[in-house]
A and B are shown apart, each in its own frame.
Chain A
Amino acid sequence: MRIDCKHVWEHISSYIEGDVDPVLRAEIDEHLETCEICSAVLDSTRNVVVLVADDRVFELPAGFSERLHARIDEELERSGG
C-alpha cells in the first residue's frame, strides 16, 4: 500500500522514536525514497530534536547546584543530622 505525505507526517515522531511497527516503517521508508519533501521534514525534525537536547541550549543558572546543596545542608542540620 502506498501512503501519502500527510500520513507520513502523522508518524514522524514515532518514526524517530523507533516506535512504529515494521510494516508501517517499511511503507514510510519506501515513501521517503521518492519524496524529497518528507525526507526534508524528517531530517529537519530529527535535527531540531537533536539541537533542543544539546546541553548548551538549556543550562542551569550559575550557582544553582551550590545554592541547592547549601539549602540541603541547612535542612540536614536542622533535622539533627
Chain B
Amino acid sequence: MTSPNAESESEKIRRILGGEKELFHELIRPCERSIYFLLLSILKNDAEAEDVAQETVIKAYTNLHLFRGEAQFRTWVLSIARNEGLGRLRKLGNRREDSLDAETDEATGDYTPAILTSWREIPSEALEQKELGELIRAAVGRLPEIYRNIVILRDIEEMDIRETAAALGISEGAVKVRLHRARAMLQKELAPQMKAFAPKRKGLFGGRA
C-alpha cells in the first residue's frame, strides 16, 4: 500500500537532506506513537522505552541519507527502533523470561477461544471506566513478545499486514498467524472478564436485569 503522503514524505526527506533540517520534526511526528509502543512492547519499561525512542529518532536523523525510499519512512524507523530495542535488552543483560521461552510460529499452544453463548457488546464509552483500560493493557502486556509486537503494530497502530511484516522483519504469513493467535489469546482472557462492563439492561420495574 502506498501511503497517500508518500510523495510529500519523500519530498520532505529530500528537503531535510538539502539543509531544511527543521522539517525533521514534521517527518517524525506521525511515527512517534508507533516507535514508543513497539519499544514498550520489547522493553516492558516506560523509562527505557522513552530513552530508546529518543535514541531511535536521533539515529534516524543522522542516518536519513541511507533511507532508500523502498519502504515507507515509518517502516524504516520502526526497524531501527526494533534493533535499538533488542540492543538495549542485550545491554541490560536481562532478556526477559518471555523472550527466552522461544515462542515460534510452530508452537502448538492452545488458541481456542473462550466459549460464550451470549455476548453483549462493550461500547467504547465503557473505556471511561479506567478499570477496563487497565484490564486490556494488562492482557496485552501478558502476551508473549512475538504476539504483543504484532498487536501493537497491527491492531493498535493500525498498520497494514505488509508494513507490519516489513517493520518486524518477518513474512506476511507469519504476521497473519501471530495476529490470529494473539487475538484468540486476548479474546480468551478478556471476553469472560468484560461482561462486567456490559451496559446493564433495565429489568422489570426499572430494576437491573
Contact = CB atoms under 8 A, between A and B. Distances in A.
A36 B140 CA distance: 27
Interface residues of B, number: 53
B22 A57 contact: no
B180 A64 contact: no
How many chain A residues sit at the interface, stated as a range, is 35 or more
Interface string B92-124: 000000000000000000011111111101101
B115 A43 contact: no
Contacts of A75: 58, 61-62
Interface in B164-182: 176, 179-180
Contacts of A6: 112
**A-side interface mostly:** helix
B11 interface: no
Given A52-B136, A64-B36, A68-B53, A37 B21 contact: no
Interface of B: 21-22, 24-25, 28-29, 32-33, 36-37, 46, 50, 53-54, 57-58, 61-62, 111-119, 121-122, 124, 126-127, 132-133, 136-137, 140, 151-152, 155-156, 158, 161, 176, 179-180, 183-184, 186-187, 190-191, 194
